[in-house]
């Protein structure tokens, strides 16, 4: 029996996140840790209730019950997630790597009637045309915020979810499994990021599923170091902790050097990761006490088989790779017999297949050599689809993108009703799925999904360029890197210092968007229909005959900080790095 009188079985049957938050009430075990701050589950539930009551006061009548959260991983983030759940409202995770008009667009597009932020983020908002009046922008580390919250600190979770109202407009709603809870941005081929929807029922179900899969215990501590505006930290970290009655430990932003000290300080047993985070951890200096910690496992994506093995050898922690589209439309689950390099098999309830994106025909199974290298990539690599019932809930105010994801709106369309992931996979003869990259206009850089069209629109302002194409080249370790081809105007020359200054002057250039590689040429290659031939550009990558400039790859050297000409020695060293991580074959796709 749990400390608050709620049995584990009753908690596992919770159909909404609101029910999971209510189950914290009366539980005086530690529920959250952040720096020197410790909150019990009971305090978290009470704090969420107070914020939910405040929502009832501040949300204007008739407005969508949406609040933007522009915060680092601080206790206020899970408190507001829980408050939104109790109030039947939804949180839009606002990405602080976005800039200028694009950041304002994210807030406006998700119809945020309230913005929760902190002093450290205020410079990002300066001068922006926001749809939210200043009185509804709450700065959580400002004394005025505590004064505003004070009158509601006696609220209880039951009082909110039973239909209790704020003193003002009464904008809170009784939640149910279909209530929107998350609007989190993902990128696609249409350029502007799309806000994927996640209901309380889907998030609660994901929490229960992961809690069961990883055997989450009430004495576990989930270390949340990935940003909470992404689905990874919320769906794979916070939700299973909430479902399993575990605690969370928060890190404002990921730090490789602080990772093990934090794990030891908080007694963390589980963490989530994406992309290059594992490489950053492996890049820290080895120490004799690397295995002196409490971690049991890590769960994430794109670590790569080589680095996962290195991580296990060095830190004694098994990494479990998984795949799940941000929108919830398809999921692959690792099984004990999953071979190195593979993601796993289709998760229960998923009817996954690798198909030709034009015909919808399932492709032949992949043939691998004894070393695990793909022998028939041309015929076996295609788009991953879910032909069964998916949990995809659509995009906010974007019916075209929603329809495109399921190929709806048209009789007789190939694969209509399926969930099309937009990701490339192959499937081996034993039924295991292997990730093979992104479709043409999508890039995944250091865990961020980007759209090539958006970056092209920015680079098109570069005066010496007559034409621009942006495309992905494989990262030596995980995900992609941004490469740009610039067709220079007659008489123009590429000035690396001038290009750095140009990038620095673009207000809407996100921190992950700067090209790692820049290829200069007289004209962009085109297809017979006069479209830019991105496939040809991707295949040659940095191995092309034209001049290529690059920002050297290192965790401490962000792309766009400096550029120098790629030499033969640079190219050889890069190719060796790809071989070391068993990713050289990706360069030829």
Q: Last residue of some domain: 438, 464, 488?
A: 438
419 occurs within a structural domain: yes
CATH classification at residue 415: 2.30.38.10
Q: What are phi and psi of 452, to 5 degrees?
A: -60, -40
CATH classification at residue 497: 3.30.300.30
| CA-wise closest residue to 523 among 536, 504, 509, 513 | 536
Judgement on whether residues 433 and 468 belong to the same structural domain of the protein: no
| CA-wise closest residue to 358 among 383, 328, 332, 377 | 383
Calculate what percentage of the chain has a pLDDT beyond 90.
Answer: 65
| CA-wise closest residue to 80 among 65, 98, 100, 96 | 65
Q: What is the pLDDT of residues 484-519, one digit of tens each?
A: 999 998 899 999 999 999 999 988 788 888 999 999
537 occurs within a structural domain: yes
Query: 455 and 484 in contact (C-beta within 8 Å)?
Result: yes
CATH classification at residue 89: 3.40.50.12780
| CA-wise closest residue to 222 among 209, 206, 208, 233 | 233
276 occurs within a structural domain: no
Judgement on whether residues 461 and 550 belong to the same structural domain of the protein: yes
Judgement on whether residues 390 and 539 belong to the same structural domain of the protein: no
| CA-wise closest residue to 231 among 68, 20, 402, 448 | 448
314 occurs within a structural domain: no
Judgement on whether residues 490 and 416 belong to the same structural domain of the protein: no
User: Cβ atoms within 10 A of the Cβ of 383, count?
Assistant: 22
Total domains in the fold of the chain? 3
Q: CA 321, CA 254: separation in Å to the nearest integer?
A: 19
**Residues in CB range of 26: below 8 A, 6 or more apart:** 3, 4, 5, 42
Residue 499 forms beta bridges with which residues? none
Judgement on whether residues 17 and 120 belong to the same structural domain of the protein: yes
Judgement on whether residues 358 and 501 belong to the same structural domain of the protein: no
In a 13 Å sphere around the CA of 306, the CA atoms on its Cβ side amount to 15
Query: Mean pLDDT across the chain, nearest whole number?
Result: 89
215 occurs within a structural domain: no
User: Cβ atoms within 10 A of the Cβ of 187, count?
Assistant: 21
Query: 446 and 478 in contact (C-beta within 8 Å)?
Result: no
Judgement on whether residues 66 and 180 belong to the same structural domain of the protein: yes
On whether the pTM is more than 0.75, the answer is yes
HEC per residue, 424-465: EEEEECCCCEEEEEECCCEEEECCEEEEHHHHHHHHCCCCCE
Predicted local confidence at residue 167, as pLDDT = 41
State mean pLDDT over 384-397: 95
Instruction: Give the distance from CA 395 to its chain's centroid.
Output: 16
Q: Residues 208, 213, 217, 220: is their CA dihedral positive or negative?
A: negative
- Report whether pLDDT(19) > 60: yes
| 318-321, strands of its sheet edge to edge | 37-40, 30-34, 247-250, 221-224, 270-274, 297-301, 318-321
Q: What is the pLDDT of residues 302-355, one digit of tens each?
A: 777 778 889 999 999 999 988 888 788 999 988 889 988 889 999 989 999 999
The domain containing residue 479 runs over which residues?
A: 444-588
Q: Last residue of some domain: 191, 206, 221?
A: 206
Q: What is the pLDDT of residues 197-252, one digit of tens each?
A: 999 999 999 999 999 999 999 999 999 999 999 888 999 999 999 999 999 999 99
Q: Last residue of some domain: 173, 206, 239?
A: 206
Judgement on whether residues 466 and 538 belong to the same structural domain of the protein: yes
Helix (H) or strand (E) holding 578: helix 568-580
């Amino acid at each position: 029996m749990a400390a608050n009188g709620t049995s584990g079985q009753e908690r596992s049957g919770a159909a909404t996140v609101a029910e999971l938050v209510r189950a914290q009430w009366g539980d005086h075990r530690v529920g959250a840790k952040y720096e020197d701050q410790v909150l019990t589950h009971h305090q978290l539930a009470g704090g969420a209730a107070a914020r939910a009551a405040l929502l009832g006061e501040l949300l204007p009548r008739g407005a969508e019950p949406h609040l933007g959260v522009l915060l680092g991983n601080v206790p206020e983030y899970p408190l507001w997630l829980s408050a939104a759940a109790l109030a039947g409202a939804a949180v839009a995770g606002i990405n602080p790597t976005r800039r200028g008009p694009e950041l304002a667009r994210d807030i406006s597009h998700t119809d945020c009637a309230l913005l929760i932020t902190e002093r450290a983020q205020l410079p990002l908002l300066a001068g922006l045309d926001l749809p939210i009046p200043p009185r509804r922008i709450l700065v959580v580390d400002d004394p005025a915020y505590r004064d505003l919250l004070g009158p509601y600190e006696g609220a209880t979770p039951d009082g909110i979810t039973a239909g209790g109202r704020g003193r003002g407009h009464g904008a809170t709603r009784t939640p149910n499994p279909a209530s929107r809870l998350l609007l989190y941005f993902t990128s696609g081929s249409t350029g502007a990021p799309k806000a994927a929807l996640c209901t309380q029922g889907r998030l609660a179900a994901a929490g229960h599923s992961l809690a069961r899969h990883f055997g989450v215990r009430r004495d576990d501590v989930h270390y949340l170091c990935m940003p909470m505006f992404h689905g990874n930290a919320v769906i794979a970290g916070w939700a299973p902790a909430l479902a399993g009655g575990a605690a969370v430990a928060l890190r404002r932003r990921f730090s490789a050097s602080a990772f093990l000290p934090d794990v030891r300080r908080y007694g963390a047993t589980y963490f989530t990761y994406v992309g290059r985070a594992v490489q950053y951890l492996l890049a820290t200096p080895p120490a004799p006490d690397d295995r002196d910690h409490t971690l049991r496992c890590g769960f994430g994506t794109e670590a790569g088989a080589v680095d996962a093995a290195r991580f296990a050898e060095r830190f004694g922690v098994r990494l479990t790779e998984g795949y799940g589209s941000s929108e919830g439309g398809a999921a692959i689950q690792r099984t004990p017999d999953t071979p190195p390099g593979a993601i796993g098999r289709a998760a229960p309830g998923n009817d996954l297949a690798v198909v030709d994106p034009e015909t919808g025909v399932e492709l032949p199974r992949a043939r691998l050599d004894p070393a695990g290298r793909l022998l028939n990539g041309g015929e076996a690599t295609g788009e991953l689809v879910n032909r069964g019932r998916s949990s995809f809930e659509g995009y906010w105010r974007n019916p075209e993108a929603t329809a495109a994801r399921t190929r709806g709106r048209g009789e007789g369309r190939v694969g209509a009703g399926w969930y099309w992931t937009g990701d490339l996979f192959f499937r081996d003869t034993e039924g295991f799925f292997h990730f093979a990259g992104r479709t043409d206009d999508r890039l995944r850089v250091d865990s961020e999904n980007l759209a090539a069209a958006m970056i092209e629109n920015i680079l098109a302002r570069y005066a010496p360029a007559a034409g621009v194409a942006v495309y992905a080249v494989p990262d030596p370790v995980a995900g992609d890197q941004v490469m740009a081809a610039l067709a220079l105007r007659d008489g123009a020359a590429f000035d690396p210092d001038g290009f750095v200054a140009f990038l620095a002057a673009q207000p809407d250039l996100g921190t992950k968007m700067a090209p790692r590689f820049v290829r200069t040429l007289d004209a962009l290659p085109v297809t017979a229909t006069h479209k830019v031939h991105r496939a040809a550009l991707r295949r040659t990558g940095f191995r092309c005959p034209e001049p290529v400039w690059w920002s050297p790859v290192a965790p401490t050297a962000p792309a766009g900080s400096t550029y120098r000409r790629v030499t033969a020695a640079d190219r050889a060293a890069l190719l060796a790095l790809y071989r070391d991580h068993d990713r050289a074959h990706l360069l030829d796709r």
